[in-house]
Amino acid sequence: MISITSIQQLFTPAFTVDIQKVKSNAKNMIERCQTLGVQLRPHMKTHKTLECADIMTGGSRRCIAVSTLAEARFYADNGFDDILYAYPLPLDKVGACAELAECLEMFHVLVDNEVAVTELKKRRLQVEKSWLVWLKLDCNNGRAGVQPEDTMALKLAKSIADSEGMELVGVYAHCGNSYEATNVKEIQAVAQETTRATLKFVEKLEKAGVRCPRSSIGSTPSCSHPVSNMGCLNEVHPGNYIFYDVQQLMIGSCQMDDIAVRVLTRVIGHYPHRNQLLIDCGWTGLSLHSLGKLPTGYALVEGHPELKLVGMTQEHGKIEPSSGKLDFEKFPLGSLLSLIPYHACATAAMHPVYYVHSDGRIITEWKPTRGW
């Protein structure tokens, strides 16, 4: 086995992570939250690794959000605590959640319906613990959650707060609609609206005498450019910012220089008769997430704005110039190209190993958890 020291020596396709950029993205978010006066509860769904979680929590290994039970167990098994399973409580997983709640200091679940509350009541925790429950709000995002202006929302909050063996810890909203923004102003309009709706509901709870100590909103766009009003919340829970990607760049969340991840690929074929070259990265290495709709196709080819990744099959990518004739001599067989992913969460999800480097020198490998 040859010892590999440089990303240039990696078998391709390979998912690479620039540790300096990851650390810088983490630091900036931590400082931004400190300035704002809110607790950062970073979301793990983008990377699902222990090492990156350690960086995002500033080494505390406390106060994280996860999207799957598999992530919750992975982090719990590896010394993390204060874990919020930020997903509408799936009824098949109540027992598994109870086990986590019983062994961790703080394991939080999230609900948006009365049926889930009933199921939690049925499974009382042992060791004199209460279920730590968050109410999921849908502040105009249109996915999970109760709408805060719906009378059901207050009723459900009361039901949680009044149930024995259960504690209403907070309200939680995801401003996924910030992904429709195309600049900072639009991001901030969504952040403002989500914050306003969340705080208004918190006020309603206070007036009704329902104890609910925490409130949290999140999304990488909103937390990359927070509005001052967000300082009235207790927490935020962004995740993608640790890597960023072309989508975040287009939304206005980050600059090109902030994007920490790449897919390295090699040229495996020249086809002058159709003005195309083939690369050894297909959708198993990149995902289809841009749907090929970028001006440069499925991704950006770093340093080559003139190239377009026009097609992807399982293990092949087709590249052609946006216009004119391709100069094949510039891209010899075996030469490396670097793809900047459209959606880092989706691209990372395709890779069993992340190659972590500093200025191109490999310093370690990270292995994500997978499954549910």
Count CA atoms within 13 Å of residue 62 on its CB side. 5
Q: Is the separation of the CB atoms in 246 and 226 below 8 Å?
A: no
CB of 90 to its own copies, least distance (A): 5
CB of 216 to its own copies, least distance (A): 18
CB of 328 to its own copies, least distance (A): 11
Site for its own copies in 34-53 (CB under 8 A): 45
Residue 190 found at the interface with its own copies (CB under 8 A)? no
CB of 58 to its own copies, least distance (A): 25
Q: How far is CA 228 from the centre of its chain?
A: 23
CA nearest to 301, candidates 329, 271, 335: 335
Taking CB under 8 A as the criterion, the residue among 280, 319, 339, 356 binding its own copies is 280
Return d(Cα 275, Cα 264) in angstroms, integer.
Answer: 22
Q: In terms of CB distance, is 13 or 226 closer to its own copies?
A: 13
In the stretch 165-184, what mask flags binding to its own copies with x, by CB under 8 A?
-----------x--------
Tokens of residue 25, six digits: 């993205």
CB of 144 to its own copies, least distance (A): 5
> What is the residue-wise DSSP string for 149-168?
TSHHHHHHHHHHHHSTTEEE
Site for its own copies in 96-155 (CB under 8 A): 96, 112-113, 115-116, 142-144, 147, 150
CB of 43 to its own copies, least distance (A): 10
Residue 362 found at the interface with its own copies (CB under 8 A)? no
Q: Is the separation of the CB atoms in 239 and 253 below 8 Å?
A: no
Residue 372 found at the interface with its own copies (CB under 8 A)? yes
Residue 341: asked if its preceding bond is cis (omega within 30°), the reply is no
Q: In terms of CB distance, is 199 or 263 closer to its own copies?
A: 263
**CA dist 136 → 50, 85, 109 (Å):** 26, 11, 10
From the list 49-57, 73-81, 156-164, 343-351, the region that binds its own copies by CB under 8 A is 343-351
Q: In terms of CB distance, is 32 or 357 closer to its own copies?
A: 357
Taking CB under 8 A as the criterion, the residue among 60, 313, 322, 358 binding its own copies is 313
In the stretch 246-275, what mask flags binding to its own copies with x, by CB under 8 A?
--------------------x-xxx--xx-
Collect all residues with Cβ–Cβ distance below 8 Å to 243 and sequence separation of at least 6: 17, 22, 25, 46, 47, 259, 260, 261, 344, 345, 348
Total site size for its own copies, rule CB under 8 A: 59
Site for its own copies in 212-241 (CB under 8 A): none
CA nearest to 29, candidates 237, 301, 329, 292: 237
Count CA atoms within 13 Å of residue 32 on its CB side. 24
CB of 92 to its own copies, least distance (A): 6
Nearest-5° Cα angle at 297, 291 to 299: 90
Taking CB under 8 A as the criterion, the residue among 24, 39, 58, 90 binding its own copies is 90
Return d(Cα 301, Cα 265) in angstroms, integer.
Answer: 10
- Binding positions for its own copies, rule: CB under 8 A: 11-14, 45, 67-69, 87-93, 96, 112-113, 115-116, 142-144, 147, 150, 176, 266, 268-270, 273-274, 278, 280, 283-285, 287-289, 291, 313-316, 318, 332-334, 345-346, 349-353, 370-372
